[in-house]
Structure 1
Amino acid sequence: MQVAIWAWLMVGVFLLFPMPRLYFEPILVVFSGCFGLMLIFYKSSSNSKNNIWWWFLGGLLLRLILLFSFPSWSDDYARFLWDGELVELGQNPYLETPNDWLESNPDLSTPYLKKLLSLMNSPDYYSVYPPSNQLIFWIGSKGADSNLEYGIVALRILLIIVEVAVFWILLGLLKKHQKNVKNLILYWFNPLVILEITGNLHFEGLVLMALLLALWYLSREKLATFGGFWALAIGIKILPLMLVPTFIFKEKIRKAPKFWIGFAFIFALSFLPLFYQNSWQYLLESLRLYQGKFEFNASVYYLFREVGFWIKGYNTIATLTKILSGITLIGIVWISWKKRWNSPIELAELWVLIYLLYLILQPVVHPWYIIPVLGLSLLTEIRSVLVWTFAAILSYHAYSQPSFEENPMFLWIEYALVFLALAWDWKSGVFPFKSKKLLE
């Protein structure tokens, strides 16, 4: 039975990814089928050692069948390869927008760069990717050798290697902390994970790998390495910086020089390149722009936005994002102060809670943003994140519209599923903030 399920999953992934995102209805049907097959596979599997190897090989093959495919659901890869090509040319990818760079460097222009520019969704924005990402983009550019298809394959190989690492690290953590090893299936065979990381070339899997490694070394009480991998996660995405209160309010960590030395060393390595030619100013400008201008697939933010329209008569995004960011920060500090963790699993629970709070209050929630918190949640009993990885596919309906306009009906359905799942987790008592200690 499991072989048949896996075979149908492979057929589903093979059919799903080449579909242009304009075809929302067939995407929804095939994605739902793949998700259902994953759940059946989960229910019918056992924890035997032989099964684990079959899981690994089966999930790896699902990724390898996408190796030579062209990303059809996202064009972020064009910016990745553009930044990498500029690094390869000895140029600073932060100083100019792609359009400005091409105008000011006509002698360095190539057909390959012009092709990347034509595919890009951000030709008028400064790069928002930290130096650690730029290193990976440069490796992709080396593999590309001015060939778009080669560049895509190079990035995909790197991400598949990262995914393999996530599989074995997550397996090790599940075993070490006596959790259900079958939880690994919910990541390794999750269609959202496969399509967004291996297919669309997003780097959230790398963030997850760094966070899982941090937990692994915490389990072994290697505090310097623990801090180093947390810093690496920040160097890739910046967002894990919001986890800092979880360490400040833990006395053992707050007073551990090894942890902070390990953190500071990797953090400095990751961000010191930004001081070259004041690159940090341009990165910061891009972050401000993304925070105060864009909105997509939000929940609470959209409700407050409607209130803003009613009171002010216009979109109050500039003010609203600041308010919600402040609420998020206060919430993270309060939760971290109230819920003191005593084990790596309790820390993972706290991280899941913080990520959920952040995502629920953000104006932009792309489906791949959920992937790090999915991996962390599988170390806990929290299952609302898994539901979200299914519901998030509804956000792709906007891409099937000529104007990319979101349909409120699909937003309501998506977040009804998410909040019902959150309510179920709350009722089941699996959230760390359900404890009396937190509510005192």
Structure 2
Amino acid sequence: MLQQWKYHKFSILLVVLGLLFYWSFAYQLVRTDFVKMIFLWGGLFVIYYKLIQENTTQWRFLAIAALLFRLVFLFAIPNLSQDFYRFIWDGRMLLEGYNPYLSLPEVWIAQGNAPIDQAAELYTGMGTLNGSHFTNYPPISQLGYLIAAIFANKSILGSAMVFRILLILADVGTFFLGKKLLASLKIPTHHIFWYILNPFIIIELTGNLHFEAIMVFFLVWALYLLHKGYWYWAGVIFAFSISVKLIPMLFLPIFFQKFVLTQKENQKSKPLQGLLRLTGFYVIVLTTVVLTFVPFLSEAFVQNFTKTISLWFQNFEFNASIYFIIRWIGYQIVGWNVIETAGKILPLVTISILLILTFFRKNKSTPQMITAMVLGICAYYFLSTTVHPWYLAVPLALCVFTKYRFPVIWSFTIVFSYTAYIHPDFKENLWMVALEYLIVFGFLIWEIYKMRGNKTHEVLTTSSD
């Protein structure tokens, strides 16, 4: 112990300071107090950076620190998000034998006959906006909600603790699988800590109970299996990721070159054989996804689920970048909010970008493919009308397997979006949103310029040799 203290004195002090900061964040912070939030957020990011910088070869030390930071939140009620109240509601409805996709919390409350404990408290916690819409959380997320209901169907804190344990276990899985994938790609394995130790991940996922942690676990697992050649099992696991949150569906086109154009060692590429494997992969993914939905399927489910999904594109606005510029231009030209029109067009632009990345960018190797995934999902977010902070978990997780680090920068600047809570009526500060994206876009442009410069240097060096 004394020897550990002697050689890791500074790092141990950083961990202790980090534990104090996370404790204050979990149990003392009110989300309207942005000054305290940015102080804790900034301090934790400094600790995060210094811990990785000082301990690149000490993965056990960093892993223990990451686990301890998460355990701080074990008995905390989330203070930056209300979504977990809806998670608890859905899980308890399932436990009572009700399909959560077919009814609205506000209707149960209005009728006064909700079949679950603490219904009024849960409805108040989730808010009228959440309670007035049908749930849009896919089946594997619902399974997690059901597990919490089984173990804690009368306690909100108990349910939150069950969620938290599930999310921590998912992060443990992401750590080990991500480390193995990095080693297979011959990338330094300590890069996994850019995700696992990131304060944004610890606060937004472990702290605020967003199930992106489980989605990322399945996504990284699927990528590892695919890299090792087990594409059939990769299809099943990738489907599980989609069935936690639908967002990985965006990546389906990007697998094309990995299957069809990749040339194995000492073998010529066989596009037809690759195309058949790709088709098999897609069939496995889509079949598995459908099977997870089977227990809930009905005509009413399809109507409710698609209606709720469409609302995110055509009704809700939060922390957008390019869309806010389009909205401003719309006000100048037509005099009203153009979200309904933009919400239909921008997804088509996103699909076009994904197809360009699929067919006109070199994506044969696993790192190239993952890089295309990072660029694709970030393009989607840059064009979205709504970008909640926890959405960034996916590009942040994927970027550790690439040369890009702008998602790490974004995971810090996303805190500026929380200035919306300063206003009693939840009003966004567009200057802070602009600052968030100016920093992100600036760093992205710098990274692209730097990488192109390195490629040019490599070409010139090779030519001179």
1:162 Cα deviation after fit:
0.6
1:411 has 2:433 as partner:
yes
1:277 Cα deviation after fit:
5.4
SS in 2 for 1:382: coil
The one-letter code matched in structure 1 to 2:17 is W
Q: Using the TM superposition, name which of 306-315 and 3-12 deviates more.
A: 3-12
Match of 1:362 in 2: 384
SS in 1 for 2:244: helix
Match of 1:112 in 2: 118
| Residues 299 and 361 in structure 1, CA contact (< 8 A), matched pair in contact too | yes
Equivalent residue in structure 2 for 1:218, among 222, 226, 250: 226
Match of 1:96 in 2: 103
Q: Using the TM superposition, name which of 22-31 and 344-353 deviates more.
A: 344-353
| Per-residue Cα deviation, 1:219-246 (whole angstroms, up to 9, x for no partner) | 2100101111221111111111111211
User: What CA distance in whole angstroms lies between the structure 1 residues aligned with 2:95 and 2:431?
Assistant: 46
Match of 2:265 in 1: none
Match of 1:81 in 2: 88
Equivalent residue in structure 1 for 2:68, among 61, 80, 87: 61
| Per-residue Cα deviation, 1:34-87 (whole angstroms, up to 9, x for no partner) | 10111111221232xxx2111111110110111011111111000000011110
User: What is the aligned-residue identity percentage?
Assistant: 28
| Residues 245 and 337 in structure 1, CA contact (< 8 A), matched pair in contact too | no
SS in 2 for 1:120: helix
Match of 2:309 in 1: 287
Match of 2:13 in 1: 4
Equivalent residue in structure 1 for 2:444, among 415, 422, 431: 422
Alignment gaps of 5+ in structure 2: 1-9, 262-273, 457-465
User: What CA distance in whole angstroms lies between the structure 1 residues aligned with 2:249 and 2:286?
Assistant: 13
1:118 Cα deviation after fit:
1.2
1:348 has 2:364 as partner:
no
| Residues 145 and 163 in structure 2, CA contact (< 8 A), matched pair in contact too | yes
Equivalent residue in structure 2 for 1:45, among 49, 55, 69: 55
User: What CA distance in whole angstroms lies between the structure 2 residues aligned with 1:115 and 1:346?
Assistant: 48
1:332 has 2:349 as partner:
no
The one-letter code matched in structure 2 to 1:66 is F
| Per-residue Cα deviation, 1:393-417 (whole angstroms, up to 9, x for no partner) | 1111111211211112211211111
The one-letter code matched in structure 2 to 1:351 is M
Q: Which 4+ residue blocks in structure 1 deviate beyond 6 angstroms?
A: none
**TM-score under structure 2 normalisation?**
0.89
1:156 Cα deviation after fit:
0.8
| Per-residue Cα deviation, 1:168-199 (whole angstroms, up to 9, x for no partner) | 11111111211122212211221110001110
| 1:57 to 1:81, Cα distance in 2 relative to 1, 3 A | same
SS in 1 for 2:48: helix
Q: For residues 123-272 of structure 1, what are the structure 2 equivalents within 5 Å?
A: 123-249=131-257, 250-251=259-260, 253-256=274-277, 258-272=280-294
| Residues 387 and 418 in structure 1, CA contact (< 8 A), matched pair in contact too | yes
| 1:190 to 1:197, Cα distance in 2 relative to 1, 3 A | same
| Residues 131 and 271 in structure 1, CA contact (< 8 A), matched pair in contact too | yes
1:258 Cα deviation after fit:
4.6
Q: Using the TM superposition, name which of 94-103 and 76-85 deviates more.
A: 94-103
SS in 2 for 1:28: helix
Q: Using the TM superposition, name which of 21-30 and 237-246 deviates more.
A: 237-246
1:20 Cα deviation after fit:
0.9
SS in 2 for 1:363: coil
